[in-house]
Amino acid sequence: MEQCRTGENRAHPFRRSRFFVANGAWYFESREAPAHGPYPERRRAERACEQFVQRLRYQMD
């Protein structure tokens, strides 16, 4: 079961992954850009995504 995002009452019925592979490289999507990457493996794309979100949160403070 999916978790609710902050401010949501219930889980969204369908939410796709923000990570994808194209031409053998991993990318992640955000509202700010359709593709961030390439990364050689999914774990590195996940880490880059975490850092990206942290930077956005820092800018909002």
Q: pLDDT tens-digit profile of 22-43?
A: 999 999 999 888 899 999 999 9
Tokens of residue 30, six digits = 């955000």
- Residue 7 in any domain: the answer is no
- Residue 26 in any domain: the answer is yes
Q: What is the span of the domain harbouring residue 35?
A: 19-60
Give a three-class secondary structure readout of the chain.
CCCCCCCCCCCCCCCCCCEEEECCEEEECCCCCCCEEEECCHHHHHHHHHHHHHHHHHHHC
- Residue 56 in any domain: the answer is yes
HSE of 48, CA atoms in CB hemisphere, 13 A: 18
- Residue 6 confidence (pLDDT): 66
Domain count, the chain: 1
- Residue 38 confidence (pLDDT): 98
Mean pLDDT, range 2-20, rounded to an integer: 68
- Residue 2 in any domain: the answer is no
Using 50, 70 and 90 to split pLDDT, how confident is the model at 1? very low
User: What predicted TM-score, i.e. pTM, was given to this entire model?
Assistant: 0.70
Tell the residue number behind the tokens 């990457």, with chain if given.
37
- Residue 37 in any domain: the answer is yes
